[in-house]
Chain A
Amino acid sequence: MSRSRLISIIKAFVFIAALGPLGYLFAKALQNDLGANPVEFVTHATGDTALIFLLCSLAITPLRKLANLPDLIRFRRMLGLYAFFYASLHLLTFVGLDHHFHWAEVLPDVYKRPFVTAGFTAWLLMVPLALTSTTWSIRKMGGKNWQTLHRLVYFSAIAGVVHYWWLVKKDITDPLIYAVILAVLLGYRLAVKFSGGRRAAAPSLATGS
């Protein structure tokens, strides 16, 4: 089997596996097994999943360099789009299931409550990235511009982790885990940038970064 064909198969597998969390929620909903507070359960599950996919997409660049697996780049767009997909479900759960689209309740939250502001910012920053995720967009915008725009993902991830941190009452264990992983992933990029590894840091269009 050719390398390219193998990657396509793995990609199809990852694509289906990434729907797992959604399938899990549907299965639990069908069995009425979402616990005493099902809306909260769905909110937390979609939020966690979005953050996990966001961190996975950010792990691609370090992994492909450190493990010398350049083909990993072919998974990055899919992981990023899944992060956006689950973040959108998370937002929809908050606005729809929790607040029944009562904008008078939701909109003040967006500017009055810092944790909601952070979460909404994280989602908003992903919108242009999802919209320009096509190969056509890369060509149309030019690699350098596209690259610059897509650095927004760093800020989206930071806002996402801050969102979680500000939400918990006192036990910060879980947000701390996300924060540490994100710090490692972003720290790697800073280390590459400042260690004079310009070649490594400067992405080429062919492979992305």
Chain B
Amino acid sequence: MLTKKPSEIDLPYSEVTPKAAYFDRRKFMTGLGLAGAAALVGREAFQMAQPDEVAHANTKLSFGKSAYSDKQTPTSLKDITTYNNFYEFGTDKDEPAEYAGTLKTRPWTVAIEGEVKKPQTIDIDSLVKLAPLEERIYRHRCVEGWSMVIPWIGFPLSNLINRAQPTSKAKFVQFVTLFDRQQMPHAGNVLDWPYSEGLRIDEAMHPLTILVFGLYGEVLPNQNGAPVRIHVPWKYGFKSAKSIVKIRFVEQQPPTTWSGMAPNEYGFYSNVNPEVDHPRWSQATERVIGGGLFAARKPTQMFNGYGKLVAGMYNGMDLRKNY
């Protein structure tokens, strides 16, 4: 599975905090926090003092490590599970954590359709066993200008694609999210439903593109896209569809939700690109979640830092036009 050495991955090693130093800092800050100066020390002290209290499936997964993992310390589970864009459960960031409890993740099937030799409907419990699970610690950059580091559990989507055996006509892959007003109280508002996203077939086959079943070693919480989602770390977060019920192989570029809502703001590709601004805000920098009130924004990297692994797929393309 470890086909690439970590050194081939474009990671900002300069930013990596040695673990020992990090934990010492947290202890130090906890001390300060107890002394009543918590306002000045950022969020770490709080998280150290109060363990994550997020309701969580609490089902451990067994998994291996991956050389594709980022070396940065992951964002806290609390932040990852309480700051979500999942409009089916409300448009405020804290609403998915509050309302996604109504989502039923069993029974659950994923339909594989379209230009494949073996169309099939796979039960989620079979799907999760299709390949060995790995931990993939990925940077996640939202189009809104914030980022996290998330320890996903999953495996490359290519495992599923190979099993379905796409025909030569399969040029794109479409991912469709569950749309059920009963389970999703806010679905039906704001966007066109169901939520739909898409990738070019080579992007979908790329070893970085993963099917995600878990987070922090346990089953994925509902608000993060349970029971199965994708994550495409070099693209803006909205490309990574959640709670997937249908994967369709198609010849033409499929319609996708955000691009359909505002084509001038959200393109089909939506690769992270600090040089191509959103029409209404800059993409040059990002706010790192978990940095606290006084942290500076950090510069956004081309392809979210995964350029060495993915830039080749876009050779000769004008990334300003194909934003």
The chain A residues found within 8 Å of chain B, CB to CB, are 26, 29-40, 42, 97-100, 105, 108-109, 112-115, 166-167, 169-171, 173
Q: Which of B10-18, B112-120, B242-250, B278-286 contacts A (4 or more CB under 8 A)?
A: B278-286
Selected contact of A29 from candidates B39, B262, B296, B297, CB within 8 Å: B39
Cα–Cα distance between A173 and B94 once the two chains are bound (Å):
17
Is B144 interfacial (CB-CB < 8 Å)?
Answer: yes
Q: Smallest CB-CB separation from A114: which chain B residue?
A: B280
* Chain B proximity of A33: nearest CB distance (Å): 8
- Residues of B in contact (CB 8 Å), total 37
Cα–Cα distance between A49 and B170 once the two chains are bound (Å):
52
> Is B144 touching A32 in the complex (CB atoms < 8 A)?
no
* Chain A proximity of B225: nearest CB distance (Å): 17
> Is A39 touching B290 in the complex (CB atoms < 8 A)?
no
Cα–Cα distance between A35 and B76 once the two chains are bound (Å):
12
B73-119 contacts to A (CB < 8 Å): 78-79, 82-83, 87, 91, 93-94
> Is B281 touching A30 in the complex (CB atoms < 8 A)?
no
Is B55 interfacial (CB-CB < 8 Å)?
Answer: no
Q: Which residues of B contact A30 (CB under 8 A)?
A: 36, 38-39
> Is B82 touching A97 in the complex (CB atoms < 8 A)?
no
Render B129-162 as a binary contact track against A, CB cut-off 8 A, 1 for contact: 0000000000000001010000000000000000
Is B2 interfacial (CB-CB < 8 Å)?
Answer: no
> Is B144 touching A169 in the complex (CB atoms < 8 A)?
yes
Cα–Cα distance between A19 and B314 once the two chains are bound (Å):
53
Selected contact of B280 from candidates A26, A35, A39, A113, CB within 8 Å: A113
Is B45 interfacial (CB-CB < 8 Å)?
Answer: yes
Q: Smallest CB-CB separation from B294: which chain A residue?
A: A97
Q: Smallest CB-CB separation from A168: which chain B residue?
A: B91
Q: Smallest CB-CB separation from A42: which chain B residue?
A: B293
Q: Which residues of A contact B189 (CB under 8 A)?
A: 171
B282-320 contacts to A (CB < 8 Å): 282, 284-285, 287, 289-290, 292-294, 296-297
> Is B293 touching A36 in the complex (CB atoms < 8 A)?
no
Q: Which residues of B contact A115 (CB under 8 A)?
A: 280-281
* Chain B proximity of A23: nearest CB distance (Å): 13
Cα–Cα distance between A166 and B294 once the two chains are bound (Å):
26
> Is A105 touching B33 in the complex (CB atoms < 8 A)?
no
Q: Which residues of B contact A38 (CB under 8 A)?
A: 43, 292-293
